[in-house]
Structure 1
Amino acid sequence: MTDIVEELRWRGLLAQTTDEDALRRAFESGPVTVYCGFDPTAGSLHVGHLTQVLTLRRFQLAGNRPIALVGGATGLIGDPKPTGERRMNEQAIVESWTEALRRQLSAFLDFGDPAAASPAPTDGLLVNNAEWTSGLSVLEFLRDVGKHFSVNQMLARDTVRSRLEGGGISYTEFSYVLLQSMDYLELYRRHGCTLQIGGSDQWGNITAGLDLIRRIAGNEPHGQAHALTTNLLTKADGTKFGKTESGTVWLDPELTTPYAFYQFWLNTDDKDVPRYLRTFSFRGREEIEELERETSERPAARAGQRALAEELTTLVHGAEQTAKVIAASKALFGQGDLTELDEPTLRAALAELPYARVTELGPVVDLLAAAELVSSKSAARRTVREGGAYLNNAKVTSEEQQATESDLLHGRWLLLRRGKRNLGAVELVRD
């Protein structure tokens, strides 16, 4: 698709725009400079951020110029939550998180060659809003920005209203919208940015920025400014997207291993596959619709989930890591050689399983029970008799079989399996 607005609509991303016809005309005249902001509330982006990051990437691939803004200033305050005040983090921590997010964003967008004599029209920009706030005095901020905001309108905002009905809201968080609005104004002035995007929960903040631009830059020297929001992603079972039993799914491999990241997508509910493919995949329309059809007609094959897992893991962690986690995923179920897996990949894969630590090796039936693959040792013996117990993918043929040092993978782990799909791991902990 060459019409980026229509592509976003087909992908289920388009929630709201200020003037769709005018926005289409702007893209036809292009390139359009479009920005999205990311506040450093942690040391890594998570999968929930991917909707906006990859939407910026779509705009760039369609011939526009993206700006990724990391909120070194706004991150010190925090966008108000409906439920209560955010914890204020130390400035040094926020600065370190800002740099971490800048590095991560650099992997998704093309920021051009810094040595080039002149940038290409679609070369992206990576900015920090501390650039225009660090030297700003309180009086300047109140006179130049604050005077353009109506307290009545700010009080009517959904988040503010819900907070006022509960435990209240600090002046600090109440003022967040002024800072984000100033970001849009500064990017409009400095870089001719005429489109801000965000999740649909950001509509109020974005349109407040539009209003500030119109009040201060009334003659619109860079053209009409626009707002566009994407639909917030939900899961079919009603739980929050991007959360698992073990917590948030991060993009940083130290926080969420590439194996766990891959498994997150592989475990996608069949009902969520069509929306996730359209939201996150860069495959074309025909290929996505074919994957949707395969998932519907042959759900056991998990074609859509595998496509998502491979594409997103490659995009975030690279092709080499993806190949390793695919090999590990297959090897755990007997479709590859466990001994060929490197230690970090094996450790990450086994960490996702029911896990037991022991100080000495012993009968396999004891280990099956320790890893909670069976309810008791007698149940473990019955599993062995029925031919359903496996040690490192080799069938256990005797109820008396002992695990030995030679069975240990990387001198440390054992993989256990009951039946075809119930896996568990044992780690030998040495003194």
Structure 2
Amino acid sequence: MTSYESDLLRLLDERGHIHQMTDPVALDKLARSEIITAYVGFDPTAPSLHIGNLASIMLLRRVQQAGHRPIVIMGGGTAKVGDPSGKDETRQMLTDAVLASNIASIKNSFRQILRFDDSPTGALLINNDDWLSQLGYIELLRAVGSHLTINRMLTFDSVRLRLDREQPLTFLEFNYMIMQAYDFVVLSREYGCKLQLGGSDQWGNIINGVELARRIDGTEVYGVTAPLITRADGQKMGKSVSGAVWLNEDQLPAYDFWQYWRNVDDRDVGRFLRLFTDLPLDEITRLEALEGAEINAAKTVLANQVTALVRGAEAAARAEATARETFAGSGAGEDLPSMATGPEGARIAALLTELGLTASNGEAKRKLAEGAVKLDGATITDPAYLVVPEDGQTLRLSLGKKRHALIRR
């Protein structure tokens, strides 16, 4: 761990948020002498963010905790182009209406985790479509084109790796890094923004912005990237058995969100407590040292802390209570996913997918064939089995030992 003098870099470092940084000495000095305005961009390509985005939101939370001002950039403009970083395929083109709907849907995730007010460190939420869509093509070329070389852009991973894999990179996507670089220039001019943060896959885009601000305005700005968050098994974070782990309640019930964190690998507990909670470091050191069955207590703390941060303390308490009731044998916790079938009932394979226990009907059929599905304790293997609850009856549908849902008429 590097020794920093500013609260900002020390906090980011001790929590495991730093991967790469431009001019750490100058940034450390600046963070000691003034309130820094820092931003992270989020492209609203879905109605909810997921836990892969949570790592970037936590960067902004740390900025605010260290006494600086965070800016959330909603990429209403950049999302019309699509970031090629880490992608093998061109993104689907989204309409203005869909983008506006997605932005409205995900705003609350930021309001839950950051403090928005009129103080010098109050967070701001800004849509880059406000300036990007006002730019004429010739105007953008004249303002930016002569400052960014194709030679340099081809060296960045977001472009080079795509070309190395012989995957198409459209001219539209190639312009993404130009637009993101221009964002940094606008934010520097209009808000005095000195720092851009993001995941490690954003390094090339961030460097472009740092260099463009220097060449156009003679302004020194800085960049910090966080490491790519992977699980102990090497898988990229953000996926569960049944799909993405969404931040929004309407995309993923609080109980399933809580369960994701409760079921992490033992080896990930300490790292995730540092990254995704505000627990004191000495308490985290104590928790990650637990062994055997005791590590489950640390996982419960992790699940409660992250769920309370993202969904609220009440949602975390309900989820923990539901887990206790479920694993005590009653299985009727009020926070479990549930649905009503109506008097005609429903096929069990369809119910598994509808309730989010499986990601597809194909997976549901495989799990049924494996004998992993139980209905009120009885193993069901036929995907066409018709589930018909009686009036007032609640049936418990289980996939393995840890995933449960309720079915009512």
TM-score (norm 1): 0.79
In 1, distance between residues paired with 2:404 and 2:106?
35
Q: What whole-Å deviation, never above 9, does each CA across 1:73-122 have from its counterpart, x for those lacking one?
A: 0011110044121121222112211222333222221110xxxxxx3211
User: Which residue in the other structure is 2:88 paired with?
Assistant: 83
Task: Note the C-alpha offset of 1:158.
Answer: 2.1
- Say yes or no: does 1:347 pair with 2:338: yes
In 2, distance between residues paired with 1:72 and 1:264?
30
In 1, distance between residues paired with 2:406 and 2:83?
44
- Say yes or no: does 1:283 pair with 2:287: no
Q: Secondary structure at the match of 1:197?
A: strand
User: Which residue in the other structure is 2:179 paired with?
Assistant: 179
User: Which residue in the other structure is 1:262 paired with?
Assistant: 258
Q: Secondary structure at the match of 2:67?
A: coil
Q: Is the 8 A contact 2:245 2:252 kept in 1?
A: yes
In 1, distance between residues paired with 2:33 and 2:64?
15
In 1, distance between residues paired with 2:322 and 2:356?
12
* 1:122-137 matches, cutoff 5 A: 122-137=121-136
Task: Note the C-alpha offset of 1:168.
Answer: 2.5
The amino acid that maps onto 1:347 is: S
In 1, distance between residues paired with 2:192 and 2:406?
58
* 1:18-167 matches, cutoff 5 A: 18-80=22-84, 81-112=86-117, 119-165=118-164, 166-167=166-167
Q: Secondary structure at the match of 1:69?
A: strand
The amino acid that maps onto 1:104 is: S
In 2, distance between residues paired with 1:309 and 1:181?
37
- Say yes or no: does 1:332 pair with 2:326: yes
Task: Note the C-alpha offset of 1:264.
Answer: 0.2
User: Which residue in the other structure is 1:396 paired with?
Assistant: none
In 2, distance between residues paired with 1:314 and 1:252?
13
The amino acid that maps onto 2:130 is: E
> For the aligned residues, what is the CA RMSD?
2.8
Distance 1:422 1:74, change over 3 A: closer
In 2, distance between residues paired with 1:237 and 1:151?
38
In 2, distance between residues paired with 1:242 and 1:228?
21
Q: What whole-Å deviation, never above 9, does each CA across 1:287-343 have from its counterpart, x for those lacking one?
A: 11111112xx244441221111001111111111211111110001227x666x44x
Distance 1:262 1:25, change over 3 A: same
Q: Is the 8 A contact 1:328 1:346 kept in 2?
A: no
Q: Is the 8 A contact 2:158 2:201 kept in 1?
A: no
In 1, distance between residues paired with 2:376 and 2:185?
63
1:233 paired residue among 218, 224, 229: 229
User: Which residue in the other structure is 1:361 paired with?
Assistant: none
User: Which residue in the other structure is 2:305 paired with?
Assistant: 311
User: Which residue in the other structure is 1:217 paired with?
Assistant: 217
In 1, distance between residues paired with 2:41 and 2:232?
28
TM-score (norm 2): 0.83
Q: Is the 8 A contact 1:263 1:309 kept in 2?
A: yes
- Say yes or no: does 1:10 pair with 2:14: yes
Distance 1:197 1:301, change over 3 A: closer
Task: Note the C-alpha offset of 1:129.
Answer: 0.3
User: Which residue in the other structure is 2:393 paired with?
Assistant: 411
Q: Is the 8 A contact 2:266 2:295 kept in 1?
A: no
Q: Is the 8 A contact 1:258 1:325 kept in 2?
A: yes
The amino acid that maps onto 2:144 is: V
In 2, distance between residues paired with 1:167 and 1:201?
17
In 1, distance between residues paired with 2:404 and 2:380?
6
Q: What whole-Å deviation, never above 9, does each CA across 1:111-153 have from its counterpart, x for those lacking one?
A: 10xxxxxx32111111000111222111111111122110111
Task: Note the C-alpha offset of 1:36.
Answer: 0.5
The amino acid that maps onto 1:138 is: Y
User: Which residue in the other structure is 1:200 paired with?
Assistant: 200
The structure with the larger Rg is 1
Q: Secondary structure at the match of 2:105?
A: helix
In 2, distance between residues paired with 1:353 and 1:301?
25
In 2, distance between residues paired with 1:203 and 1:280?
22
Q: Secondary structure at the match of 2:39?
A: strand
In 1, distance between residues paired with 2:51 and 2:403?
26
Distance 1:303 1:96, change over 3 A: same
Task: Note the C-alpha offset of 1:367.
Answer: 5.8
Distance 1:274 1:426, change over 3 A: closer
Task: Note the C-alpha offset of 1:167.
Answer: 3.1
User: Which residue in the other structure is 1:395 paired with?
Assistant: none
In 1, distance between residues paired with 2:36 and 2:163?
38
The amino acid that maps onto 1:306 is: T
Q: Is the 8 A contact 1:82 1:160 kept in 2?
A: no
In 2, distance between residues paired with 1:40 and 1:422?
32
Tell me the matched-pair count: 371
In 2, distance between residues paired with 1:416 and 1:155?
50
In 2, distance between residues paired with 1:18 and 1:212?
14
In 2, distance between residues paired with 1:228 and 1:135?
29
Distance 1:75 1:415, change over 3 A: closer
Question: What runs of 5+ residues in structure 2 fail to find an aligned partner?
Answer: 340-351, 359-363, 366-373, 382-387
